[in-house]
């Protein structure tokens, strides 16, 4: 089982016993979060709304395909100007196809941290897949309410160097055992992005947050909202097709 984080996430529900939850270590918390947020395959129809000062909100429609940690693909279907734009991630490689130029470009290095399509998500955020247990050490630092939901508060420190967010702070819903608020921090400890996850809905035996809001605090008064409209834990297209350069360059 693997965990996919881009502003584009799924979550399963586990109704834990409160007395047991209080005795968990930080690592055990991360294991439970990973267990609830993992899926093998997913197809999601979503809308992304970009809010910027003194401008009309920009709404973009897209389909997201995910398979484990190593494969992700995004295809934009609206507005007309963005239709046909595609992203493909295979392991640590990320490419973008722009129909306006009919060219494929590999995104790497510092470019991964640039804004994706003018949003508060970076290219790296959009396909960021990770196991919290594998990548972070966790410390339980308290309990707070978020949007009326009792939460455990965790501080995370990355086990790896040269990552976008060496530190994170999570507010983990006590009932669902999924983060409903996150702070993403630089090496200095400064919070550079905030994430809210809400509108949790049940899908089969899972509860998933269907509304994700990202705020890049290095930009002034902006936010980007992802609304998940249709989530299916299967791939609507053949794996051999969607996770391939042939799919990426379709329509050239």
Other C-beta atoms within 10 Å of 72: how many? 25
Domain that holds residue 44: 18-248
Query: Regarding beta strands 223-232 and 93-98, do their DSSP bridges make them parallel or antiparallel, or are they unpaired?
Result: unpaired
Q: Is 47 exposed, middle or buried (0-12, 13-18, 19+ CB in 10 A)?
A: middle
CATH number of the domain to which 219 belongs:
2.50.20.10
What distance in Å separates the CA atoms of residue 166 and residue 156, rounded to the nearest whole number?
8
Of the candidates 176, 155, 177, the one whose C-alpha atom is nearest the C-alpha of residue 166 is 155
**Model pLDDT, residue 33:** 87
The reply to whether 99 falls in a domain is yes
The CA–CA distances, whole Å, from 175 to 15, 33, 61, 180 equal 6, 11, 32, 11
Asked whether residue 136 is assigned to any structural domain, the reply reads yes
Q: What is the DSSP letter of 9?
A: -
Cα distances from 6 to residues 20, 93, 130, in angstroms, run: 30, 15, 10
Residue 183 to residue 168: CA distance in whole angstroms: 6
7 assigned to some structural domain: no
Residue bearing tokens 């339980």: 140
Number of domains in the chain: 1
pLDDT (tens digit per residue) in 18-39:
444 557 899 999 998 888 777 8
The answer to whether the pTM exceeds 0.75 is: yes
Instruction: Answer yes or no: is 6 within a domain.
Output: no
pLDDT tens across the length of the chain (252 residues): 444 434 343 332 223 334 445 578 999 999 988 887 778 899 999 999 999 999 999 999 999 999 988 899 999 999 999 999 999 999 889 999 999 888 999 999 889 899 999 999 999 888 776 789 999 999 999 999 999 999 999 999 999 888 889 999 999 999 998 999 999 999 999 999 999 999 998 887 777 899 999 999 999 999 999 999 999 988 988 888 899 988 998 754
**Would you say residue 62 lies in a domain?**
yes
Does 3 fall in a domain? no
Burial of 195 (0-12, 13-18, 19+ CB in 10 A): buried
Looking at the domain assignment, is residue 5 inside a domain? no
């Amino acid at each position: 089982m693997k965990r996919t984080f881009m502003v584009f996430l799924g979550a399963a529900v586990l109704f834990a016993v409160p007395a047991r939850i209080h005795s968990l270590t930080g690592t055990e918390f991360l294991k439970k979060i990973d267990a609830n947020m993992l899926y093998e395959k997913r197809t999601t129809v979503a809308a992304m709304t970009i809010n910027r000062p003194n401008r009309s909100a920009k709404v973009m429609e897209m389909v997201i395909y995910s398979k484990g940690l190593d494969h992700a693909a995004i295809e934009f279907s609206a507005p007309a100007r963005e239709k046909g734009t595609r992203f493909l991630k295979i392991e640590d490689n990320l490419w973008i196809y722009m129909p306006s130029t009919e060219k494929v470009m590999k995104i790497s290095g510092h470019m991964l941290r640039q804004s994706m399509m003018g949003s508060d998500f970076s290219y790296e955020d959009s396909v960021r897949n990770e196991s919290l247990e594998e990548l972070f050490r966790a410390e339980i630092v308290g309990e707070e309410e978020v949007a009326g939901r009792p939460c455990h508060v965790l501080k995370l420190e990355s086990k790896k160097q040269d990552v976008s967010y060496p530190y994170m702070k999570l507010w983990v819903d006590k009932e669902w055992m999924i983060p409903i608020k996150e702070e993403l921090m630089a090496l200095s400890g400064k919070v550079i992005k905030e994430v809210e996850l809400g509108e949790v809905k049940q899908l089969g035996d899972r509860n998933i947050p269907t509304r994700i809001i990202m705020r890049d605090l290095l930009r002034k008064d902006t936010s980007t909202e992802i609304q998940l409209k249709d989530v299916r834990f299967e791939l609507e297209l053949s794996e051999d097709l969607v996770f391939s350069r042939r799919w990426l360059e379709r329509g050239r």
